[in-house]
């Protein structure tokens, strides 16, 4: 494994290089670059070794470096995976400002996005940008995950992950399963510290008992509905759907879990609307990697 770490700010770069100089068991190359001006160098670094599999993490300051014409050469690297930090709280704040050139970030979707407001605008913006990343890099799967602000019931940014292999979706969902509870626990502790500072009174209840949050719950409920409706449309419009295809389609929706999918399938099967194909005797639900399929019962 080897790393290429890029930092544009000179002062921050000195700290980065000082850290890299302490690493002896890994090949680490720090560069004081504006990465958008060095895509050719990045690609050369990746291709300078045979059988290289790059994982690209793009964590820019602002949104301008994420314009597709700047990062498309990196997205087209194959094989590769990419993780992008999209600062939605900044983008939505300035999206209505026509002096900001968001067309480079959002393309033809921009006029429609400007007509939306609030949570709908933010979530549709993420879907549009994730779709652009998928098209630019010919990625088969994209997953997104919002990260909440510590002191507000709002999202700060979204992580957008793109991969060409289904195993990438599995790993992302495994990570999501731990990250979401950790995020809520961290915010609960922050709220408890603020409550204690304001009141000066200790509580017999845990920080989680006092925790207040609405934004993520509403977001999760909408995603569950979208994922379920998408799956239902797949089932009703096809003779049969491979279970693996259904799983990977549904799991690209943020905060939707394997348990949610299995509950939907169990409900539809118990109502007589769905059957499972190529399953073993006594098997309650299909499983991945077993060439099993779902078939909607047309009544």
Q: 91-114: per-residue pLDDT in tens?
A: 999 999 988 889 989 999 999 999
pLDDT at 64: 85
pLDDT at 65: 87
Q: How far is CA 53 from CA 124, 152, 175, in A?
A: 31, 38, 20
pLDDT category at 52 given cuts 50, 70, 90 is confident
Please state the domain extents for the chain.
Answer: 34-164, 214-296
**Three-state SS at 294:** strand
pLDDT at 94: 93
For residue 144, the surrounding DSSP H or E stretch is: strand 141-148
The answer to whether residue 245 scores a pLDDT higher than 90 is yes
Quick one: DSSP state of residue 275? E
pLDDT at 220: 97
pLDDT category at 227 given cuts 50, 70, 90 is very high
pTM (two decimals): 0.92
pLDDT at 151: 85
- CATH architecture type of domain 214-296: Orthogonal Bundle (1.10)
pLDDT at 202: 74
**Distance between CA atoms of 216 and 224, rounded to whole angstroms?**
12
Q: How far is CA 171 from CA 174, 256, 297, in A?
A: 5, 14, 33
The answer to whether residue 208 scores a pLDDT higher than 90 is no
**Three-state SS at 158:** strand
Average pLDDT over residues 121-135: 96
The answer to whether residue 190 scores a pLDDT higher than 90 is no
% of the chain residues with pLDDT over 70: 100
| Token pair for 291 | 């060439």
């Amino acid at each position: 494994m080897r790393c290429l770490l890029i930092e544009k700010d000179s002062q921050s770069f000195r700290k980065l290089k000082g850290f890299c100089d302490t690493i002896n068991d890994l090949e680490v190359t720090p560069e004081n670059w504006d990465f958008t001006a060095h895509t050719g160098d990045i690609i050369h670094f990746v291709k300078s070794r045979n059988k290289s599999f790059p994982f690209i993490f793009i964590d820019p300051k602002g949104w301008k470096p994420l314009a597709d014409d700047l990062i498309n050469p990196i997205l087209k690297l194959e094989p590769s995976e990419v993780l992008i930090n999209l600062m939605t709280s900044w983008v939505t704040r300035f999206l209505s400002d026509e002096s900001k050139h968001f067309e480079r970030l959002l393309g033809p979707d921009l006029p429609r996005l400007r007509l939306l407001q609030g949570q709908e605008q933010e979530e549709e913006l993420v879907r549009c940008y994730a779709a652009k990343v998928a098209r630019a890099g010919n990625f088969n799967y994209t997953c997104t995950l919002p990260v909440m602000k510590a002191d507000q019931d709002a999202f700060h940014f979204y992580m957008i992950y793109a991969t060409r292999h289904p195993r990438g979706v599995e790993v992302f969902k495994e990570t999501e399963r731990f990250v979401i509870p950790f995020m809520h626990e961290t915010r609960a502790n922050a709220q408890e510290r603020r409550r204690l500072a304001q009141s000066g009174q200790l509580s017999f209840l845990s920080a989680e008992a006092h925790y207040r949050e609405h934004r993520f719950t509403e977001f999760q409920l909408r995603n569950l509905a979208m994922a379920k409706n998408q799956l239902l449309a797949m089932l009703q419009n096809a003779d049969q759907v491979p279970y693996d295809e259904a799983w990977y389609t549904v799991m690209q929706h943020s905060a939707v879990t394997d348990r949610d999918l299995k509950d939907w399938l169990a409900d539809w099967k118990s109502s007589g609307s769905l059957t499972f194909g190529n399953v073993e005797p006594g098997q309650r639900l299909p499983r991945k990697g077993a060439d099993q399929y779902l078939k909607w019962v047309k009544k």
